[in-house]
Amino acid sequence: ISVSEFHCHCCYDILVNPTTLNCGHSFCRHCLALWWVSSKKNECPECREKWEGFPKVNILLRLLLTLTEEDFTKEPYSIVNNNHRKAIMAELECVKTLGVKPPQNLWEYKAVNPGKSLFILYALKSSPRLSMLYLYLFDYAEAFLPFIHTICPMQENQYEDIVTKLLDLKHPSWKQWREFIVKYLFVPYQLIAEFAWDWLDVHYWTSRFIIVNAMLHSVLELLTFWRLWSRRELKTIPHRMWRHFWKVSTQGLFVAIFWPFIPQFVCNCLFYWALYFNPIINIDLVVKEVRRLETQVQ
């Protein structure tokens, strides 16, 4: 059996509930359902051959997805490398648990979680400390653990191999917490930049936009602190923080209430605006702040 037999001809990823049509092409059951809903045609997405009735799940392919690690060491697979077997089993277990293929990049994650993606993007942009606290309290396993293990990794010698490193989502060590808390308090945008840096190979330009934007936000935060210090207004920081907290909370509650009524097109526009155009706006803000600072010095 070739590798292509395990891949869906729609999403080109590992098959989930594989369904084979009369023409012989196999698809994820969910992908085939989405195709039928969008096209309203009983025809193969690959070769356009018509099919009748209700397609059945391919039992043979489904059984292949239930293989154990020991099975992969035997014929006809004969996967000798232990790391390869662990990686395959980890992905299969993830598919079994979730029932769908987990997102592999930003765009797949956005397609699966459009509201959450927009929320995290704007929350990290306007209030990174509150956003990370929210992820810690309400999305610890799915979002916070991968985040902290990426930006504050354990030492390499604590892992058996690269697969264990990638799959290790245990509770962070005290050393990781110390590194994270220092950056969290003083340079929170650097944490975002470090996380984006880790994804440069996957998102070449998008990661660079995020890194530049994080750097600009750090500069703006530093200039704001300097302005408060020069005006002897540091005592107003607690009041400003409290006011910011209520502003962010009110905006989040407002969006949560009206989210079901917001068109997807509007959400996509807001997402791409914050991702790609916000750095341009922040460059202008940094220039204005620097000029204002020069005016005060003179």
Question: What is the pLDDT at residue 21?
Answer: 77
Query: Which of 139-153, 157-171, 199-213, 259-273 is the least confident region?
Result: 157-171
Question: What is the pLDDT at residue 18?
Answer: 74
Contact 251, 188 (CB under 8 A): no
- Residues 47, 155: one domain? no
- Residues 84, 24: one domain? no
pLDDT band at 159 (very low <50, low <70, confident <90, very high): very low
Q: Where a domain ends, among 54, 75, 102? A: 102
> pTM of the full predicted structure?
0.70
SS3 letters for the chain? CCHHHHECCCCCCECCCEEECCCCCEEEHHHHHHHHHHHCCCECCCCCCECCCCCCECHHHHHHCCCCCCHHHCCCCCCCCHHHHHHHHHHHHHHHHHCCCCCCCHHHHHHHCHHHHHHHHHHHHHCHHHHHHHHHHHCHHHHHHHHHHHHCCCCHHHCCCHHHHHHCCCCCCHHHHHHHHHHHHHCHHHHHHHHHHCCCCCCHHHHHHHHHHHHHHHHHHHHHHHHHHHCCCHHHHHHHHHHHHHHHHHHHHHHHHHHHHCCHHHHHHHHHHHHHHHHHHHHHHHHHHHHHHHHHHC
Question: What is the pLDDT at residue 142?
Answer: 85
- Number of structural domains found in the chain: 3
- Residues 27, 156: one domain? no
Q: How far is Cα 94 from Cα 72, in angstroms, rounded to an integer? A: 17
- Residues 189, 173: one domain? yes
For the segment 18-36, the average pLDDT, to the nearest whole number, is: 79
The token pair that represents 72 in the structure block = 């992969």
- Residues 234, 121: one domain? yes
- Residues 286, 172: one domain? yes
- Residues 43, 129: one domain? no
- Residues 167, 245: one domain? yes
- Looking at per-residue confidence, does 122 or 69 come out higher? 122
The 10s digit of each residue's pLDDT in 229-284 is 988 898 999 999 999 999 988 988 898 898 888 888 999 999 999 999 999 999 99
Above 70 in pLDDT, residue 109?
yes
Query: Which of 99-103, 104-108, 135-139, 262-266 is the least confident region?
Result: 99-103
Q: How far is CA 244 from CA 174, 208, 231, in A?
A: 30, 28, 20
Residue type, 237: I
The token pair that represents 128 in the structure block = 């990174």
Contact 29, 52 (CB under 8 A): no
Contact 31, 8 (CB under 8 A): yes
pLDDT band at 10 (very low <50, low <70, confident <90, very high): confident
Residue 49's domain comprises 1-63
Q: What radius of gyration, in Å, describes the C-alpha atoms of the chain? A: 24
The 10s digit of each residue's pLDDT in 33-79 is 888 888 877 888 888 887 766 665 554 455 555 555 565 555 555 55
- Residues 55, 71: one domain? no
- Residues 229, 120: one domain? yes
- Residues 75, 165: one domain? no
Instruction: Return the CATH number at 2.
Output: 3.30.40.10
- Residues 78, 139: one domain? no
Q: Where a domain ends, among 80, 102, 124? A: 102
